[in-house]
Amino acid sequence: MSYTAPVKDMLFSIRHLAGIDEISKIPGFEDAGYDTAQAVLEECAKFNQDVVAPLNWEGDKNPSFHNGSGVSTTPGFKQAYAQFTQGGWQSLQHPAGYGGQGLPKVIGAACGEILNSANMSFALCPMLTDGAIEALLTAGSDDMKAKYLEKLISGEWTGTMNLTEPQAGSDLAAVRTRAEPQADGTYKIFGTKIYITYGEHDMAENIVHLVLARVQGAPEGVKGISLFVCPKFLVNPDGSLGARNDVHCVSIEHKMGIKASPTAVLQYGDGTAASIADSAGPGAVGYLVGEENRGLEYMFIMMNAARYAVGVQGISIAERAYQKAVQYARDRVQSRPVDGSLPKAGPIIHHPDVRRMLMTMRAYTEGCRAMATVAAAAYDAAHHHPDAQVRQDNQAFYEFMVPLVKGYSTEMSIDVASLGVQVHGGMGFIEETGAAQYYRDAKILTIYEGTTAIQANDLVGRKTARDGGRTAQALAAQIQATEAQLLAGDAHAQAVARRLAAARQAFLDVVGFVCAGSKSSPNAVFAGSVPYLMLAGNLMAGWQMARALLAAQDLLASGEGAQWGTPFLQAKITTARFYADHILSKAPGQRDAIVEGADSVTDMALEAF
């Protein structure tokens, strides 16, 4: 069950694909160059390998439970969380003005992958806190920031996001939780929220809930939703904790995976004597974030941060499943190799199909890691670069990439985790090997923070049709420039260039189809929305793998690759070639299904299902 953080691969992507040396030239990031990235990642790896990863299987066997008055987390989680906060890991990429370390996202995202690979159930608590911090930084008042941010950034307090209700899943227009204005400027919150990750737990002294609710008289639909801070314990003027707020966990869900992460049903202001016996009175006290009726706008700040982070979770669970499968394939002896290279039965890693499965797992994981790393670098430039045009260009790139990082990386994680079970054979179906846990844990990633279909709708509507495909076409032009570099290289590079060119053309065909039909033939376009997302994610990950191949070849040719080592660089070239031959090669078929296959999706009479 051991885990070794892939620090070398992360650092390779950070330096040669994301351009950490350029990021460190941005004002405020001068001390965040490659050496800093290496030091931080190595320390992060050590902490997570030694402290957090050993709790992963324990959490699956002995998950959080609701004990009537609160929630007890898996044995060991509370102590590990204390070490996590003492080590400053919550504060990595948050502003120094509130006690953060101010590191770029490109470093923070890599640390996030390590934490999630070590223990995704545990990592969900800091991830939701990150989202709450982002929302308050953007929309919170000065008083609100002063009251909450330092405690959240230190990890002393944790954060949640409260959107979903029993009748309102992805359709937030159906939110019914109500907020009643009070004479003192506060609000009383009444309603039920479900699927609240770490909505109740015993690891921190306070939990800061960010809650969507409707103020009385607000417009119907999403335009009438406001955002409120509703802490578990009210905060006194001096920053100390006061009375218990009237928000309570009434149950936690029993889930397929991420079992150690308590997913709470929270009741706000039920007004019963039992719920308010130790509280400030009936109705949960809430504080308006920003302006009334702009809550969804603010919550999307939190959701965009969370969507990228969930994509990283997909990469993390794929990495863990891959490592487990490689370990098993090296140890499991069964059948003589088909080429007769061994005189008797040997480890199954000698079998060509096992190697195909392992290479698929590796290529998907490295491709998505490279894509997410480059996207994180774009975020850093978009938010901190002194040149306005550079900020604008990188913002457009990052926004285009978020649904791909979230949608493609999480869908691939299910495929990779499934292959991990397959490599184990029958033992993969037995819980004691641990392979099944990764498969179960991965499934939620395509659902929460917006399903894959919601990411695809975003890609079609906001990221492609809205600007007439200009951002997509600009990306295709950059990819074409990479093809030209590949064509000047050796046979491996030229083979990748051909696959990349075919995938790019397939992508452009689909972009044209989407832009031409999004208004006139919406059913046809949205019938292929998820396949479009998968094609686009495939292309962007394949593009980064092609760039990685070029970088590895340049380092080998120049003799400057000593810090990576020849075996690592050769493996990178081989993995990139595999990605092109076996994964990127799917793009033309994906294009045909989207452009030519819409009718067969929508023609079936509804009563025939």
Q: Read out DSSP for 398-456?
A: HHHHHHHHHHHHHHHHHHHHHHHHHHHGGGGGSGGGSHHHHHHHHHGGGTTTS-HHHHH
pLDDT at 502: 98
Residue 86 within any structural domain of the chain: no
For residues 20-46, give the mean pLDDT. Answer: 97
Residue 385 within any structural domain of the chain: no
pLDDT at 301: 81
For residues 149-173, give the mean pLDDT. Answer: 91
Distance CA 278, CA 491 (A): 72
- 143: tokens are 């008083």
Residue 582 within any structural domain of the chain: yes
Residues 6 or more apart whose CB falls under 8 angstroms from that of 372 comprise 109, 308, 311, 312, 315, 405, 409
pLDDT at residue 529 is higher than 70: yes
pLDDT tens for residues 172-201? 778 899 999 999 999 999 999 999 999 999
pLDDT at 275: 45
pLDDT at 487: 98
Residue 128 within any structural domain of the chain: no
Query: What amino acid is encoded at 573 in this protein?
Result: I
For residues 411-436, give the mean pLDDT. Answer: 97
Residue 570 within any structural domain of the chain: yes
pLDDT at 273: 40
How would residue 103 be classed by pLDDT, with cut points 50, 70 and 90?
very high
pLDDT at residue 264 is higher than 90: yes
User: Of all residues in the chain, what percent carry a pLDDT higher than 90?
Assistant: 91
For residues 563-573, give the mean pLDDT. Answer: 97
Q: Which of 51-60, 162-171, 434-443, 474-483 has the lowest mean pLDDT?
A: 162-171
- Dihedral angle, C-alpha 590, 594, 598, 604, nearest 10 °: 30
Residue 216 within any structural domain of the chain: no
pTM: 0.96
Q: Read out DSSP for 70-98?
A: SEEPPTTHHHHHHHHHHTTGGGTTS-GGG
Are the beta carbons of 308 and 365 closer than 8 angstroms? no
pLDDT tens for residues 45-67? 999 999 999 999 999 999 988 88
pLDDT at 302: 79
Sign of the dihedral through C-alpha 456, 459, 465, 468: negative
Average pLDDT, the chain: 95
For 429-528, where are the alpha helices, taking DSSP H only? 435-443, 452-460, 470-487, 491-517, 522-527
Active-site residue, from 180, 449, 596, 607? 449
How would residue 361 be classed by pLDDT, with cut points 50, 70 and 90?
very high
Which DSSP letter does residue 545 get? Answer: H
For residues 103-123, give the mean pLDDT. Answer: 98
Cα separations (Å) of 352 from 338, 342, 416, 504, 536? 8, 14, 17, 30, 29
For residues 85-92, give the mean pLDDT. Answer: 98
Distance CA 466, CA 399 (A): 13
Enclosing domain of residue 525: 466-601
Are the beta carbons of 553 and 489 closer than 8 angstroms? yes
How would residue 473 be classed by pLDDT, with cut points 50, 70 and 90?
very high
pLDDT at 58: 95
Residue 573 within any structural domain of the chain: yes
- 432: tokens are 């004691």
pLDDT at residue 276 is higher than 70: no
pLDDT at 533: 98
Distance CA 413, CA 421 (A): 12
pLDDT at residue 277 is higher than 50: no
Nearest to 576 by CA among 550, 596, 603: 550
- Split into its structural domains, the chain has a count of 1
pLDDT at 208: 98
Distance CA 290, CA 144 (A): 10
pLDDT at 271: 53
Distance CA 374, CA 19 (A): 8
- Cα R_g (the chain), whole angstroms: 25
For residues 344-352, give the mean pLDDT. Answer: 95
Distance CA 497, CA 499 (A): 6
Distance CA 259, CA 385 (A): 41
- 291: tokens are 């302006």
Nearest to 130 by CA among 318, 3, 295, 312: 312
Residue 551 within any structural domain of the chain: yes
Measured between its terminal Cα atoms, the distance across the chain in Å is 44
Q: Which of 181-185, 296-300, 357-361, 517-521 has the lowest mean pLDDT?
A: 296-300
| 449 flagged as catalytic | yes
Distance CA 440, CA 66 (A): 22
For residues 311-321, give the mean pLDDT. Answer: 98
- 574: tokens are 């081989």
Three-state secondary-structure class, residue 268: strand
Cα separations (Å) of 379 from 23, 373, 384, 395? 11, 10, 8, 7
